[in-house]
Amino acid sequence: MFQKLTFLILIATQTAFSQQNLSLQQCEDRFVKNNLLLLAEQYNLDIAKASVIQAKIWDLPVASGEFNAINPQDKRVLDIGAKGQKAIAVQQLLYLGKKKQNEVEFAKSTIGIAELQFEQLLKNLRFGLHQSFYSIYFNQQKITNLNKQIASIDTLVKSYAIQAQRGNWPLRDVVRLQSLSFSLKNDFMIAQKEINDEQESLKILTSSQENIIPVVEEQALNSYFTKNNLPVTEALLNMALEKNPDYLSFQKIIESNELMIKWQKSLAKPDLTVGASYDQRGGAFGNQVNFTFGIPLNLWNRNKGNIKIAEAELDKSKRLQDQKIVELRSQIANATQTWQQQRLQYAQITASGAENFEAVYKGILQNFQKQNISLLEFTDFMESYNQSTLLLIEMRKQVILSGETINHIVNVNLF
């Protein structure tokens, strides 16, 4: 069992054969350039713009003709010559009540919606990229710490195993050290599994085939821990109402629905069909040229159903906008409270001397090697040390992710 765990860890540590060191900005650049979801979403912008072009197009004029097939009087077929009969007409539909103008304005409104939907997708995917990037970064710190402990404990296990075979140490001491090693390696595999999962997400977001090793300047993270002047919830909400594309899209949808009502009401007005016709012999006069027009009688179809549908959609979009404000206020309050609590807890722990863990660890290890402390004291300390260091790294990670959540909701880089 001990050898199997060691083998798995060796495999995990050797998976970095194809990897690349990238900063967060470099990951974002690749993400914007290569992400297939973003590239696909851009086609929605093209679709919206194409709908405006189509809305501007008027119906084509209609040409019709009437030609003699059989002349029973003169017993001739296809009598369309100078003494025969033929008629030609051309008609054009003219939109009244600003129908075409309203249709174009509605189509233009969909462009703004498509742009905000694209921005929202970009924001959500970028947030996922930040989460994966920082999760990998801090889990790698866990891996580094655990590797160091595992190497030290495995060295002790080998030494104690040899001494146990010679009868110098009881076998139970070897088993106790092996148990500690198993625990450390289990923590290692958990951290490695999290890294693998986040690497998958990061590679998908950046369309990369290689593992990405995050490069972070620790000073750049200080604001997540030292910022004390974070705006209050209502101030952050006002920022979100100006910057959050999800909320802004509701505003655009409301405007679009208002234009839809305007368009549907204009559709209730009848249109005019005008034209001209030529009739060689079928009319009251020879070679007769006529002006034609037609207009539907607006007796029962006044587009009332579609108007009511559009009005209902407008009311619905207004309620959804109100709901979004409620959601944003709640999300902001929860995110800021979480960040404040995690930041304060981390500050309290670091203020209590947690940065001295490494020095204490080295001292305990040296004292144990010199047999100044018992095996029980050593293993108890190692278990506590491992839990504390992993917890400290995890708390630091959670402070960063909480700050990123606030940035994501408000859509402003506050940290």
**pLDDT score at 354:** 61
Q: What are the pLDDT digits (tens) for 240-274?
A: 999 999 999 999 999 999 999 999 999 999 999 99
Q: What are the pLDDT digits (tens) for 282-336?
A: 777 888 999 999 998 887 878 999 999 999 999 999 999 999 999 999 999 999 9
For domain 2-58+95-268+303-410, is the CATH number 1.20.1600.10?
A: yes
Average pLDDT over every residue of 39-48: 91
3-state SS track over the chain: CHHHHHHHHHHHHCHHHCEEEEEHHHHHHHHHHHCHHHHHHHHHHHHHHHHHHHHCCCCCCEEEEEECCEECCCCEECCCCCCCCEEEEEEEEECCCCHHHHHHHHHHHHHHHHHHHHHHHHHHHHHHHHHHHHHHHHHHHHHHHHHHHHHHHHHHHHHHHHHHHCCCCCHHHHHHHHHHHHHHHHHHHHHHHHHHHHHHHHHHHHCCCCEEEEECCHHHHHHHHHCCCCCCHHHHHHHHHHHCHHHHHHHHHHHHHHHHHHHHHHHCCCCEEEEEEEECCCCCCCCEEEEEEECCCCCCCCCHHHHHHHHHHHHHHHHHHHHHHHHHHHHHHHHHHHHHHHHHHHHHHHHCCHHHHHHHHHHHHHHHHCCCCCHHHHHHHHHHHHHHHHHHHHHHHHHHHHHHHHHHHHCCCCC
Average pLDDT over every residue of 211-219: 92
**pLDDT score at 353:** 65
pLDDT over 50 at 2, yes or no: no
Parse the chain into domains and list their residue ranges.
2-58+95-268+303-410, 60-94+270-302
Assign 7 a pLDDT band (cuts: 50, 70, 90): very low
